[in-house]
Structure 1
Amino acid sequence: MSGDQDGQRDAGRRVRRRRVFYIPGYDPIHPRRYRELYRKEGAAQATISGYEITLKPKATAGPYGWQVAARIEGAEVAADVEVLVWSDIVRDSMSNSIAATYLQLLQTAWAYIASGALWRLMRLRKGPVIAALYPVGMLLGQALLALLLIWALARLGAALAPLAGWIGAVIGAGLGVALLRWFKGKDGKFFAYYLMHDYAYSARHRGANPPELEARMTEFGDRIAAALHSDVDEVLVVGHSSGAHLGVSVLADLIRQGRVPAEGPALGFLSLGQVVPMVSFLPDAWRLRADLAYLSARRELTWVDVSAPGDGCAFALCDPVGVSGVAPGDKCWPLVVSAAFTQTLSAARWKALRWRFFRLHFQYLCAFDRPGDYDYFRITAGPLTLADRYRDRVPSKSRIEHPVSKYTSVAP
């Protein structure tokens, strides 16, 4: 079962003050981009939907964030939004060496192919698998062009004189390296290196979290635990893309450790555009699989998972617990719902965005010109808890729940 909210402690609670913790995906860019996105898209959604929302800088010390004042659904709500930053870890994991990136390509391909994870992932959604194969094909294509350049100049030189063939090959090698460097310099358009580093980061430890990430997740947990002992009405954790599986583990740890007070604020977890199977399907993702199973049966929180088939970078409408093969008998989360881009975006807007895959992956954080029951700004700055907002929502009929992963163990 999914989305059964009977017995939720936060039923009927109105929100005047909220703490929001946003966990980004694998992103090396400074978190100010998320403030600007919230400011711009929140204003657009407010105009479309007829409510008021304003931002101002964070007034207290600590991690990066901002304050929101909103009047939504006839109520005034204040929200403190905080970005749980791990962009420094991401930057450190992104090699500056072209050769090292090609080595990562081989290691990552081997991790997914040899384990059988790639073939299992292909049985879910084709979009994210294509997105995973894209950097492999793009980088190999770049290397092939460089080799063809070397070969062509060597042949040209050999046609002129035997010794000139070697000279042509040397010149071709220099130009080939220059070509590879040009492609790397233009990766802001191609995204091949960026995506390769992203997939390599999870594959490097075959699904286990590296030590530096575990340490940062502990810090995230401490921030959230402190908020749960404050006088706010709701603590909302938002995990986008790779940030979704980090949120799963952070919240599972907090509940296991008894750090979620029974009489404290309502606790909500909103996972957006998740790519959980890219990690949970790997052999050594015991920690994540155990956390998925544990969190899916806990009544201390409400967990809503939002995705859309139009997002080719996410495992849209794939229940991350079910497809990972770890659903317990008393599973009640997540509630899997669709943002239905083809319905919540006008025909003109959908046409403009349809082939902008990376932009669509961030649409969950943006305005919809034909909004449905998913509105990021109502959820983060409106007067209803996540539990109340989705209390009567049924899960998507087209969701995938059956086990697909080859690896379902939750301990070494």
Structure 2
Amino acid sequence: MQVTDHTVARRRVFYIPGYDPIHPRRYRELYRSEGADQAAVCGYKIALSPKQGPKSRGGRYGWHVDGAMDGTRTQADFEVLVWSDIVKTSMDLNIPQTYLVLARTAWTYIASGALRRLMWLRKGPVIAALYPIGMLLLQLLFAVLVAWFIGANVAKGVKLLVDWPLVARMLGWAVALGLIVIILRWFRKIDNKLFAYYLMHDYAYSARSKGEDPPELEQRMAEFGDEIAQALSSGVDEVLVVGHSSGAHIGVSVLADLIRAGLVDEDGPKLGFLTLGQVVPMVSFLPRAYRLRNDLKYLSTSDALTWVDVTAPGDGCAFALCDPVAVSGVAVEGKRWPLVISAAFTQTLSPKRWAELRWRFFRLHFQYMCAFDRPGDYDYFKITAGPETLQSRFKDRQPSKSRIDVAASPYTSVTP
């Protein structure tokens, strides 16, 4: 059955997380709790239940949603396209290896000119990228200073007891080195509060190949494409792909491959692509990001999908209102996508709620998938569980007037 422009009875939603090592259960619980809050604000109904259909389908973690909105009932099946195992493996570095990665990542962004160009766009995400470098160096400096002070005093104490200067110095150095290790391990243990190691590994993952997708990620993206292709032939009314943070540029390449392969039938389900809090320039500005730039260029002119990009200036971890195609320098005549709009946190959240969240930077980076107490036309739960396709919902929406759509990348080639 071909869907009309206005009504969705059944929908498949594929969620691509960002660089996140945690179990996908987190996304289900976030959807459950925030969906209930948004339903209470807006007066509609939304209910979650276990994933329907064969549990072996795709082997993916997911859930089922029944929505009752605008007098229409809609069913949606969610699946999380997991790559957290790849993330965990990339984070499995010891402390010395992390500091080596720090040096390599900083050099990649500085020497390529990408860092300077990124600063032209938004300082927030660049500061977020520099934060782990500064924090890790500060941790090392603190450990060295404390170890030097204590080690020197140990050496003095030993020398007072026995007149063996060499032994005293050796003991002092041994204590100092041991303290450096202990202090750095302690900092790593509390990284769930500091996020320095986590963010360092995040930015290092793409930087290590200078923007080229690692082989293990390419293989996983091919698997994602196979599952989305199956959904496109399953008789649903809409297939919606949601890419959050780093998941946005993964989704770009997955969908570009699908459309190139002719797997999106114009008489089949509507295909929607929703990118949230994207950080595309962090990758597309790197010298060897040929594939991503080519995929951005290709997807931006396709009539096989609807692509809506949602960010907000209040999200300091995203390239807010930066058109990922245009700023990457690959916009061409006939460009259609993405439609760049703002979630406008300062307007869609009450002053009280905004005050509560304003300085919780990582929480704000997930706000796109949470409830708004003064919602505008962007409503994650209406988009994913409501009766309208993404195309229909935003067909008359104009792009944000404050969007940034000038070419800024130091590299614009789409082929090696």
1:104 is aligned to 101
Counterpart contact for 2:294–2:414, Cα < 8 Å: yes
1:228 is aligned to 232
Unaligned runs of 5+ in 2: 160-164
Identity, % of aligned pairs? Answer: 69
Please tell me the residue identity of whatever aligns with 1:209: D
| Pairing of 1:188-337 with structure 2 (within 5 A) | 188-337=192-341
1:350 is aligned to 354
Counterpart contact for 1:10–1:387, Cα < 8 Å: no
How far apart are the structure 2 equivalents of 1:314 and 1:112?
Answer: 17
Match of 1:69 among 62, 66, 71: 66
The 1:146–1:101 alpha-carbon spacing in structure 2 relative to 1, beyond 3 Å, is same
How far apart are the structure 2 equivalents of 1:74 and 1:173?
Answer: 68
Q: CA deviation at 1:194?
A: 0.5
1:78 is aligned to 75
Q: Does 1:38 find its partner at 2:31?
A: yes
Q: CA deviation at 1:159?
A: 4.0
2:126 is aligned to 129
Counterpart contact for 1:321–1:327, Cα < 8 Å: yes
Please give the secondary structure, in 2, of the residue aligned with 1:123.
helix
Please tell me the residue identity of whatever aligns with 1:107: R
How far apart are the structure 2 equivalents of 1:49 and 1:308?
Answer: 21
Q: CA deviation at 1:156?
A: 1.9
Aligned-residue RMSD, C-alpha? 1.1
> Deviation string for 1:74-131 (max 9, x for gaps)?
1100000000010011111112401111111011011101101000000000100000
Q: Does 1:182 find its partner at 2:182?
A: no
1:4 is aligned to none
Counterpart contact for 1:324–1:408, Cα < 8 Å: yes
Which structure has the larger Rg? 2
2:408 is aligned to 404
Number of residues paired by the alignment?
Answer: 404
Of 55-64 and 300-309, more deviation after overlay is shown by 55-64
1:363 is aligned to 367
How far apart are the structure 2 equivalents of 1:12 and 1:263?
Answer: 12
How far apart are the structure 2 equivalents of 1:52 and 1:102?
Answer: 49
Name the TM-score, length of structure 1 as normaliser: 0.96
Please tell me the residue identity of whatever aligns with 1:128: P
Name the TM-score, length of structure 2 as normaliser: 0.95
How far apart are the structure 2 equivalents of 1:340 and 1:357?
Answer: 15
Match of 2:152 among 152, 155, 175: 155
Q: CA deviation at 1:155?
A: 2.8
Counterpart contact for 1:11–1:387, Cα < 8 Å: no
Of 314-323 and 174-183, more deviation after overlay is shown by 174-183
Q: CA deviation at 1:369?
A: 0.6
Counterpart contact for 1:154–1:166, Cα < 8 Å: no
2:113 is aligned to 116
